[in-house]
Amino acid sequence: MTDDDLADALDTFITEARELLQDFEEGLLGLEDEPSAQDSVNALFRTMHTLKGSAGLFGLHHLVAFTHVVETVLDSVREGELAVSAELVSALLPCGDHVSSMVEGVAAGRLDATTSETVDGDRLLAALQPFLTLSSPLAPVLAEPEVDTLRTWRLTLRFGPDSLRNGMDPLSFLRYLATMGVLERVTTLTDALPDAEQMDPETCYLGFVIDFVSGAAKADIEDVFDFVREDSQISIVPADGQADDYVKVIEGLPDQDRLGDLLVRSGAVTDLEIARALQIQQERNRTGDSLPPLGEILIETQTVPKPVVDAALGKQRKTADSRSQETQTIRVYANRLDKLIDLVGELVIAQSSVGIHRPDEEGYDEAQGEVMRLVEEVRHSALSLRMVPIGTTLRRFERVVRDVCVDLDKDVDLVITGGEAEMDKALVERIGDPLLHLVRNALDHGVEPRADRERQGKPIRGKLRLNAFHDAGSIVIEVADDGRGLNRDRILGKAVERGMVQPGTVMSDHEVYDLIFEPGFSTVETVSNLSGRGVGMDVVRRNIAELRGTIEVLTTAGAGTTFRIRLPLTLAIIDGFLVGVGPSAFIVPLDRVTECVELPPNAAERDCMYLRGEVLPFIRLRTIFDIAGTPPRRQNVVVIEQSGQRAGLVVDTLLGQFQTVIKPLGVLFSEARCISGSTILGNGEVALILDVGPLVAENVSREQVLV
Amino acid sequence: MSKTILIVDDSASVRQVVSIALRGAGYEVVTAADGQDALKQLDGKRIHLIISDVNMPNMDGITLVGEVKKLPSYKFTPIIMLTTESQEDKKRQAQAAGAKAWVTKPFQPAQMLAAVSKLIMP
């Protein structure tokens, strides 16, 4: 390609780009008028698609990178994942202008972006960010491991029977291969050739075994057969006697848990080969055999020689030994399982006993009651199977504490108590992150540096205590340090400075300490390596609230801080209180309900009432959920308590206690606050479970100000 | 006699650059702006390989592949589709239609040349 040719082609590109950008702008404006026109969306997508493709040919990377994002956005519009909106159009219009100015830059001879163009581009892309359903920046360019030494490979190729019909000539691949190295020996495999009369001239029966000497990486050799890979059997293995090299490479690699990763990093296997082996593994697993080891499949499919796999396995084992691995299975006490099976047996008998009685017969109610009792017991028993001791999770922190102490140059002993307390496995898994944050915080901000401790006459070694215990149907986990404690004045000062509290407000200690859980609160001026990233305690509290738990802080200046997390024992079932409003039913978690009273007639027009001399603000569910119909003459108030704050929920009817199996709401409702889930009632109807925390926080504070 | 390649793309600059690269490597090149144009070009000529974009006005690349496979004299002609990394489903459709080779956009002329030379020599 001569320079003249290229300049000529570039001219064509610029003319074309100008036209496309004109189309782009017109298309966008047209889209605003008629957002549902599929044709114009397609045309719009094509403008950016074509621009990107052409720009890539000329190596105009700045144009490619920018148009790629715009194209991605338009693609999701085209696929119906993103709706056309005025905001989208106004975000896209300046993008067109920006591409225009870059194209004009190219016309003026600038083949790279100027600094101001880069800045503009980044700003525009940031504005597009909300529209990117899947954030897909440019596919990263894979850096191939550099192999410059010549290696001998043994290629076994069996081309698919349809290869010729697909326009894939086996010989053309061999010719191409020859451009990358030397074909030392080619053996043609003719064993698949049928007898002459059965032979179909359009079908490919050939295979080859090739000894190939090349300096190319394995992935590059594999790429040669990209187009036939799906229908053909291609295996590329180091020729005999070369395996030792890989064994050495593997032994020199850093620790790695996964066999596949080890093999890929050594260059003996490509990502693709691993993917294929994993697929085979999945299939065999489905056909009922036990899960075959990956290494065996790789050897069996002749992807890698056995010594290489053995070396990788050895390495993997070493890695596993050096790290205590978390168990993937649940250990269940045999007697619990026995009990469950016993109960199910009894249930079957009770069920048949119901079957032999007619409903009006004597003994029917009794049999029915027995079934109910057994169902309840089965539920208890089944839930207990999921209970695991929390100790495993807590013991993981020994390592964390050690590492953090090294980083911070502090001496801290970790004391774990109550590790045998049991909780739901799902909860155990999800409490890890909040706990990690608390532990790091305690070590970073709580425990003082050695010198400070010495000055205060404390032992130089700090102490961090993790304690778990059961308390009234919940599990409590405490993270306690013996550090400096929370500084009331500093917290209050910061809150005033941030405008979270009015200056001069009188607050109890408890209220002040609770401020640290507010979003955006952080008293540490300098952000340290470990904590203080601004995603502080509010996230911890939110995570815990998602598990339907609470967190509180107890502190004594100079003597330490204790964070106390209280969690329900299980996530699956709660005791609920069922209430009715018009035709709808709602569940209030029973542990939040303190009492129920009748709505006094004189409170009808107000948003609060007197309850034993105290003002009780209340929320009308009928109003906030916009339920039609007139309220009945007598309404009830369910008094609930949330973080020390009381409020009432005005409902039509009280339907009583209800064992609630929680069903999560779909993604559609993920933004719905005040509702934490749903459940299905005995009559098949759906009832929403109220999330009391946000409900009270969002609706009552306003009322209280008015009071 | 050197082999002839048909380039089908609605972008004139793509056609131009790919043509230059392939001619430089010793291939003959003819071009078409969309699927219908391409079918006309195939008629009466001897084409050894087709490179086609997926997104084109009038007749898109996948329809084109289907039509080409119906022509007896082009039954064994290899077809390279130009896809983008975001169009995995398009790629599948094109493969099902009979286009087993592909080059991902945006590409450099050298990448195109490599893909072509895997399938035919000049």
Distance from CA of B78 to the nearest CA of A (A): 4
Which pLDDT score is estimated for A108? 82
Question: Measuring CA to CA, how many Å separate A2 from each of A459, A471, B7?
Answer: 79, 82, 20
Non-local (6+) Cβ contacts of B49 within 8 A are: A167, B3, B4, B5, B6, B77, B78, B79, B80, B116, B119, B120
Looking at residue B1, its pLDDT comes to 64
- CA A478 – CA A438 distance, rounded (Å): 10
Q: What is the pTM of this model?
A: 0.44
Residue A289 has pLDDT above 70, yes or no: no
Check if A649 contacts B (Cβ < 8 Å): no
Per-residue pLDDT of A157-174, as tens digits, reads: 888 888 888 888 888 888
| Coil/strand/helix, residue A682 | coil
Among chain B residues, CA nearest to A7: B17
Mean per-residue pLDDT, A564-568: 86
pLDDT tier, A252 (very low <50, low <70, confident <90, very high otherwise): low
Chain A contact for B67 (CB, 8 A cutoff): no
Q: What percent of chain B has pLDDT over 90?
A: 12
Contact A226 B101 (CB under 8 A): yes
pLDDT of residue A678: 86
Q: Do A1 and B20 touch (CB under 8 A)?
A: yes
Res A141: pLDDT: 37
Write the CATH number of the domain with boundaries A407-568: 3.30.565.10
Chain A interface mutation, best of B11, B71, B113, highest count of A Cβ atoms under 10 Å:
B11
Quick one: closest CA in B to A228, which residue? B100
- A179, B11: Cβ pair inside 8 Å? no
In chain A, residues with a C-beta closer than 8 Å to the C-beta of B11 are 16, 50, 53-54
Percent of chain B with pLDDT over 70: 97
Task: Return the pLDDT at A197.
Answer: 83
Q: Residue A287 pLDDT > 80, yes or no?
A: no
CB contact under 8 A, A9 and B17: yes
Residue B46 Cα, gap to closest chain A Cα (Å): 15
Residue A456 clears pLDDT 90, i.e. is over it: no
Any A CB within 8 A of B49 CB: yes
- Write down the pLDDT at residue B51: 92
**Given this model, what pLDDT does residue A479 score?**
92
- Measure in Å the smallest separation between the Cα of B1 and chain A Cα atoms: 17
For testing contact with chain A, the best of B16, B23, B34 (most A CBs within 10 A): B16
Question: Of the candidates A384, A382, A354, A383, which has an alpha carbon nearest to the alpha carbon of residue A369?
Answer: A354
At A401 the pLDDT is 86
Out of A103-112, A411-420, B50-59, pick the least confident: A103-112
- CA–CA dist A637, A659 (Å, integer): 21
Determine whether the interchain pair B102/A227 forms a contact, defined as Cβ–Cβ distance below 8 Å: yes
| Residue A586 pLDDT exceeds 90 | yes
B76: which chain A residues are within 8 Å (Cβ-Cβ)? 164-165, 167, 202
Residue bearing the bigger pLDDT, A137 or A131: A131
**Residue B102 to residue A179, Cβ atoms within 8 A:** no
ipTM of the complex: 0.79
pLDDT digits (tens, 9 = 90+) for A64-76: 888 888 888 888 8
Q: Does B25 touch chain A (CB under 8 A)?
A: no
Chain B residue with the nearest C-alpha to that of A134:
B86
* Cis geometry, peptide bond prior to residue B106 (ω within 30 degrees of 0): yes
Residue B64: pLDDT over 50 = yes
Q: Is the pLDDT of residue B61 over 80?
A: yes
pLDDT (average), residues A363-369: 84
- pLDDT of the residue at A705: 43
pLDDT band at A525 (very low <50, low <70, confident <90, very high): very low
> In what side-by-side order are the strands of the sheet with B28-32?
B28-32, B4-8, B49-53, B79-84, B101-105
| Banded model confidence at residue A700, pLDDT cuts 50, 70, 90 | low
B102 vs B86: which has the higher pLDDT: B102
Q: Please provide the average confidence, as pLDDT, over all residues in chain A.
A: 79
Is the CB of A586 inside 8 Å of chain B's CB atoms?
no
Whether residue A704 is predicted with pLDDT greater than 60 in this model: the reply is no
Q: Which chain B residues have a beta carbon less than 8 Å from that of A16?
A: 11-13
Stretch A674-687: mean pLDDT: 83
Tell me which residue has tokens 């400075």: A497
Task: For residue A166, give the nearest of B9, B14, B98 by CB distance.
Answer: B98
- Flag whether pLDDT at A284 surpasses 70: yes
Where along chain B do its domains lie?
4-119
SS3 letters across A436-467:
HHHHHHHHHHHCCCHHHHHHCCCCCCEEEEEE
Superfamily holding A3-131: HPT domain (1.20.120.160)
Q: A573-706 architecture in CATH?
A: Roll (2.30)
CB distance from A81 to chain B under 8 Å?
Answer: no
Average confidence (pLDDT) over A549-576: 83
Size of interface A-B (CB pairs under 8 A): 122
Cα A12 to Cα A473: distance, rounded to the nearest angstrom:
75
Percent of chain A with pLDDT over 90: 5
- How many angstroms separate the CA of residue A217 from the nearest CA in chain B? 16
For residue A386, give the nearest of A418, A427, A431 by alpha carbon.
A427
For the ranges A34-48, A252-266, A347-361, A383-397, which has the lowest average pLDDT? A252-266
CATH superfamily of B4-119: Response regulator (3.40.50.2300)
Please list every residue in chain B whose beta carbon sits closer than 8 Å to the beta carbon of residue A169: 78, 119-120
Count CB neighbours of A57 within 10 A: 26
Over residues A76-95, the mean pLDDT reads 82
Contact criterion met (CB < 8 Å) for B119 and A168: yes
**Which residues of A fall within a CB distance of 8 Å from B96?**
none
Best of A16, A51, A54, A103 to disrupt the B interface by mutation (most B CBs within 10 Å)? A54
> What's the gap in Å between the CA of A181 and the closest CA on chain B?
14
Using a CB-CB distance cutoff of 8 angstroms, which residues of chain A are in contact with residue B82? 53
Predicted pLDDT of residue A568: 77
- The chain A residue lying nearest B95, using CA atoms, is A166
If one compares A197 and A479, the residue with the highest pLDDT of the two is: A479
Residues above pLDDT 70, as percent of chain A: 87
Q: How confident is the model at residue A288 (pLDDT cuts 50, 70, 90)?
A: low
d(CA A230, CA A78): 29
Cα first-last separation, chain B = 9
Using a CB–CB cutoff of 8 Å, tell me whether B86 touches chain A. yes
CB atoms within 10 A of CB A122: 11
pLDDT at residue A570, as a whole number: 65
Is A535's pLDDT higher than 60? no
Instruction: Among B13, B76, B100, select the one facing A13 at the smallest CB separation.
Output: B13
Mean pLDDT calculated for residue range A98-104: 88
